Structure 1
């Protein structure tokens, strides 16, 4: 596995490429991996770099230590101007948008706690796998800072009533509840978490990269549309997808009872 350097003073993340996977690791374990402005900027730029790297077909976001992420770096939110505060949350929004904008599926590998903006990042990722000891919360209400930006991703992942309860109480939910509510896809024994995520990512990466990119983009374009509008948009998407080299190859391979050879085009 090759390790790339990350241009950040804090060295808060580590970046690795082990084709076909690109891995972003939150590396401030002693501080429970806070999402500082620098960290969020580094994640955003790394996602964009992976987006342009043909060797990276799936992206994994994971963390070192007892926490996936405890959320925003609260030291950056004290005694600041309104413009300073706006800049922090703009960086957060940019990072979350980048998760959806990159062509690759992004998988959260969640060990330990994922609180506040950390929970938001899990909810934003395309897929999430949690270790059985993982815990999730949006506890901002307890410190006078309602988790309004985490609410955006959380509500879309688990629905109104469940999200509102988490947001109003700050209660912690366990991994099994997170899976039942749709915040994560799967829960596995802690010792098997890394291998389970690698297996899932590798299986996804075996498909055509161009087809995965088309599908991911299409998912987010249709999800908030009315049903008639979604069908209209997706009908055109499927028609143009069918004209791609890999769709023609995949269909021909299926009909010919052979394995497809992808060109990623």
Structure 2
């Protein structure tokens, strides 16, 4: 059950990312209080877990959540500042940090399994980028979102990539230029989150979404997620040409044959993932 944590998981509660597996779901909880800053160590830990999940047949859906009061305040500014004393004034470390962050966000998008962000609290800068990079996002009614880099002389250029793909341009620019925090309702209006729920129901609602997705053919979900992001960058003509070919290949899959047969026979399909 979702509320049962194994002995190994209890021993790992000091980890920067706490992993919990149940019912085809992998819950990855950020654990870097108080602000869940995306330090290099945390990003590396999250990336390792995501890469392991890619090849884990038992994992069908991934949830990224938080064990702190803040979902994530973005990059660890103190960590970044410490490297200014180096001969290159921190350039090499800054480059490492931003490239690692870019790899993390692209891994989420490219992952053949859906990733759901579960937000309770504030998600700012790269934390907001993390939310916008996930396939789905569900938050509490007291959550807030911002790209406040402009307030400290550091424009949120990398968060802008995910934000501008999740929202309309003018909405993204509003957040990027003002640096102000928007509430959950505005974030839903902008397209950053899918749903807003009361705090006491957040885990229940997110787990329900994950369980519904986990019940589908893993092959079909993989095909669909990849096709969604690829066609979104194409012209209308190219998108239809590409997705027509995807549909044909999907039709040739055993799971499609089984799913259609089960629908006609009015029975529950048995997915093989092939």
Query: Is the pair's TM-score, using the shorter chain for normalization, greater than 0.5?
Result: yes
**Shorter-chain-normalised TM-score: which range?**
over 0.9
Q: Which runs of 5+ in 1 are unaligned?
A: none
1:191 aligns with 2:195: no
Deviation for aligned residue 1:94: 0.6
Matched residue pairs, number?
A: 261
- What residue is the counterpart of 2:31 in the other structure? 27
CA contact (8 A) 1:249 1:262 kept: yes
Q: CA deviation at 1:202?
A: 0.2
After TM superposition, the runs of 4+ consecutive aligned structure 1 residues lying more than 2 A away are 1-5
Deviation, structure 1 residue 65: 2.1
The 3-state SS of whatever aligns with 1:47 is helix
Name whichever of 73-82 and 161-170 sits farther off. Answer: 73-82
Distance in 2 between the 1:95 and 1:11 partners?
18
Find out whether 1:12 has 2:16 as its counterpart: yes
The root-mean-square deviation of aligned C-alpha atoms, in Å, is 1.4
Alignment-derived partner of residue 57 in structure 1? 60
| Structure 2 gap segments, 5+ residues each | none
> In the TM superposition, what is the alpha-carbon distance from 1:76 to its structure 2 partner?
2.4
Given the alignment, which residue of 101, 104, 109 partners 1:92? 101
Contact kept in structure 1, 2:146 and 2:181, CA below 8 Å = yes
Q: Are the counterparts in 2 of residues 21 and 60 from structure 1 also a CA contact under 8 Å?
A: yes
**Equivalent residue number for residue 74 of structure 1:** 77
Matching residue within 140, 144, 162 for 2:171: 162
Q: Indicate the residue corresponding to 1:104 in structure 2.
A: 113
Distance in 1, Cα, partners of 2:131 & 2:249: 31
- Between the aligned partners of 2:72 and 2:242, the Cα distance in structure 1 is 36
* Structure-2 separation of matches of 1:198 and 1:2: 18
Partners of 1:203 and 1:146 in 2: how far apart?
38
**In structure 2, what is the Cα distance between the partners aligned to 1:122 and 1:140?**
16
- Quote the Cα distance in structure 1 between the aligned partners of 2:271 and 2:120: 34
Could you state the TM-score of these two structures normalised by the residue count of structure 2?
0.92
SS of structure 2 residue aligned to 1:167: helix
Partner Cα separation in structure 1 for residue 144 and residue 120 of structure 2: 8
State the shift of 1:4 in Å.
5.8
CA displacement at 1:103 relative to structure 2? 1.1
- Is residue 2:208 matched to residue 1:205? no
Verify: 1:255 aligned to 2:258, yes or no.
no
Residue pairs, 1:34-49, within 5 angstroms? 34-49=37-52
Q: Deviations over 1:3-43 (max 9, x none)?
A: 767xx9x821111111310011001222x100001111111
